[in-house]
Amino acid sequence: MRFFRSAAAAYGSRVIGVVLSGLLNDGAAGLEAVARCGGLALVQDPADAIADEMPRSALAAVAAGLPVPSARLGDVLSELVREPAGPRIPVPPDIRLEVDIAAGERVDSSILSRIADPAAITCPNCHGVLSTVRGSRPLRFRCQVGHALTADVVAKEQENAVDEALRVALRVVEERAELVSRMAADGRNSGRRAVAEMYEERATEYRNYAETIRRAVLLSMAPPAPQEDEGGQDGPG
């Protein structure tokens, strides 16, 4: 994404951006910057991509994106580089600012507010506050440290964090159930019936909590249900 954006700012209409098979949609955000700076946007046809998520996102983000079968990409690029570049257009201020941020320029809330609005979401990399980049396609965020992420990337990172938190919680609750069960047994063996009953009740509660968390973990691991095709995508129409 940063490479596309910096190339677009530096070379404008002389840039040809190409998005190939891949997951998530960070490449789509970079390709959108190429198109806004006057460059050309090529996208591997999702129909012959091993992973079609990235090319589909790119075509959704860039209305002028040209889907090309992978077998034809080399020929198309060879033809395009022989054509004269289009007229140079001014680099949009938001793209210029993001290039400067990626290059290490100082960024704080006042600078970031020129292009983004604070969101109640934390950066998965530094845990700082994210801001929503205004008008971005696809939906995208930046933090004050300089990290830039699409919503899909943030969602994937959050999914991983939730899975890890659930597994930690399951382990802790199961250990707690085991501990109070042993304390209940110790109470019975020492003749402290009331104490034993109290710990047995707690052990039952913790086992119920653990079972609820275990179901949540299993649900998070289950593959998504297949969705009906809503018409397919053979290219922009």
152-175: per-residue pLDDT in tens? Answer: 999 999 988 988 999 999 999 999
pTM for the whole thing?
0.71
User: Which tens digits make up the pLDDT trace of 30-89?
Assistant: 999 999 999 999 999 999 999 999 999 999 999 888 999 999 999 999 999 999 998 999
Q: To 10 degrees, the CA torsion angle through 53, 120, 6, 137?
A: 50
Q: Quickly state the pLDDT bin for 182 (edges 50, 70, 90).
A: very high
Structure tokens at 123: 């950066």
Residue 235 CA: distances (Å) to CA of 53, 54, 106, 136, 226: 14, 14, 41, 21, 22
Residue 231 has pLDDT above 50, yes or no: no
**Who contacts 27 (Cβ-Cβ below 8 Å, separation ≥6)?**
1, 4, 19, 54, 57, 58
Q: Quickly state the pLDDT bin for 224 (edges 50, 70, 90).
A: low
* Domain boundaries defined on the chain: 2-80, 115-146, 154-221
Q: Rounded to the nearest 5 degrees, what angle is found at the Cα of 55, between the Cα atoms of 51 and 59?
A: 155
Residue 227 has pLDDT above 60, yes or no: no
**Given this structure, which CATH class describes domain 2-80?**
alpha beta
Residue 226 CA: distances (Å) to CA of 25, 46, 82, 141: 20, 18, 44, 29
User: Which tens digits make up the pLDDT trace of 104-135?
Assistant: 888 888 889 999 999 999 999 999 999 999 99
Residue 26 has pLDDT above 80, yes or no: yes
Share of the chain above pLDDT 90, in %: 70
Residue 233 has pLDDT above 60, yes or no: no
- For every residue of 63-132, DSSP letters joined together read TT-EEE-GGGHHHHHHHHTTSPP----PPPHHHHHHHHHHTT----HHHHTTTEEEEEEE-TTT--EEEE
- Give the strands of the sheet with 140-143, arranged side by side: 116-122, 129-133, 140-143, 148-150
